[in-house]
Amino acid sequence: MYDWGQDVAQHSAAAYHIIKEAHKSTANDKLNVIALGALTNVASALLIDPSIAPKMRLYCLGSTYNFEKGYWKKTDFNCLMDPHAINVVMDNAALEVHITPVNVAADMTMEREFVADHLQGKDDLRGFLYNRWISHIDGGYNDRVIWDLVAVQSLLNPEFMEEVEIQTPSENLQRKIFVTKSIDADKMRTDFFETVHDYLE
């Protein structure tokens, strides 16, 4: 998002799609939005049309929260890719926010051999996912955190995690948001592979 001028929103197709879908919803039947990266499109939609905030429920991944000492950090990849956007979301009192900090999502680790047992050699999406794993050049060849799965599971299977209400960071509008405190990574992994196999077989 822009950090100067009267209109800092990114007028993207995604932002306008969120607005369109939100207007089909109500405060009693909210639009669920899952954001897997920076919050640019969500924040832009909120700035373009503030009336949609009470009609939405946002599930996102980002920030770090120290539950023992009670403080936030916004230095992870998703926050740093658009620092203005995370603050727009935090500062919107009408928006219901469910956020999974990256230090909590980090428990969603999968090992390559475990994934291979489920996906390797399949001539469909499963094989594609495994081949993507072994061809992606980074430090996660043997094991990696499947960050996005946690954000999706927080909506689909909230019983797989513990969620608490916490005050927003001191630099933001002071209000309570929902924060994931812990996850049951084993249940999430099991549910993921069962869902993929059921869908493709």
CATH code (residue 70): 3.90.245.10
Give the Cα separation of 52 and 174 in Å (integer).
20
Note down the domain range covering 47.
Answer: 13-105+147-181
Query: 10-22 burial, b for 16+ CB within 10 Å, e for fewer?
Result: beeeebeebbebb
DSSP symbol at 165: E
Place of tokens 């500062």: 91
Is 197 part of any domain? no
Is 113 part of any domain? no
> What pLDDT score was predicted for residue 27?
86
What the block records as the tokens of 50 is 């503030």
Tell whether pTM > 0.85: yes
> What pLDDT score was predicted for residue 111?
93
Is 31 part of any domain? yes
Dmax over CA atoms of the chain, in Å, equals 53
Give the Cα separation of 23 and 31 in Å (integer).
9
Within its chain, how far is the Cα of 51 from the centroid? 22
Is 29 part of any domain? yes
> What pLDDT score was predicted for residue 6?
85
What the block records as the tokens of 63 is 């920030």
Q: Burial-class residue 64 by CB neighbours within 10 Å (0-12, 13-18, 19+).
A: middle
> What pLDDT score was predicted for residue 5?
82
Give the Cα separation of 201 and 196 in Å (integer).
9
What amino acid is encoded at 53 in this protein?
Answer: A
In the chain, how many domains are there?
1
Which residues in the chain come in under a pLDDT of 70? none
Cα atoms in the 13 Å half-sphere on the side-chain side of 35? 31
CA distance readout (Å), 20 to 23, 55, 152, 199: 5, 11, 22, 29
Is 69 part of any domain? yes
